[in-house]
């Protein structure tokens, strides 16, 4: 995981996501090969495909990737499992 500071001074966390094909979770075709995830507070962005060598990119290069990333809705929470508790 890395961090990058955008032009507004916000520090974004950045990490690569590679979905497992056998996980039983549907992934849109454009994200099937994985994506870079960017997160600041409740804001989430994705860039697909994962740029080669992103871990070694300079901060300006990583900021450029952040500029190309697309907004993602809020994280979904899984439904709570009823375990017989009130």
Tokens linked to 43: 């804001």
Question: Which pLDDT belongs to residue 47?
Answer: 96
Average pLDDT of the segment spanning 39-54: 95
| Per-residue pLDDT reduced to its tens digit, 1-33 | 999 999 999 999 999 998 875 555 666 777 778
pTM higher than the cut 0.85:
no
For residue 32, being part of any structural domain is answered with yes
Question: Which pLDDT belongs to residue 15?
Answer: 96
Tokens linked to 21: 């094909």
Domain limits at 30?
Answer: 2-72
Which neighbouring-strand residues pair with 70? 46
For residue 79, being part of any structural domain is answered with no
More confident residue, 17 or 76: 17
The answer to whether 65 touches 47, Cβ cutoff 8 Å, is yes
How many domains in the chain?
Answer: 1
Produce one character per residue of 29-42: b if its CB has 16 or more CB atoms within 10 Å, e if not: eeeeeebbbbebee
Range list of H helices, the chain: 59-68
């Amino acid at each position: 995981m890395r961090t990058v500071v955008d032009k507004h001074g916000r520090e974004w966390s950045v990490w690569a996501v590679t979905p497992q094909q056998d996980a039983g979770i549907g992934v849109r075709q454009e994200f099937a090969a994985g994506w870079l995830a960017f997160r600041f507070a409740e804001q989430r962005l994705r860039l697909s495909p994962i740029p080669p060598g992103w871990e070694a990119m300079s901060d300006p290069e990583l900021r450029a990737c952040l500029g190309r990333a697309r907004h993602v809705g809020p994280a979904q929470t899984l439904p709570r499992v009823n375990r017989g508790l009130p």
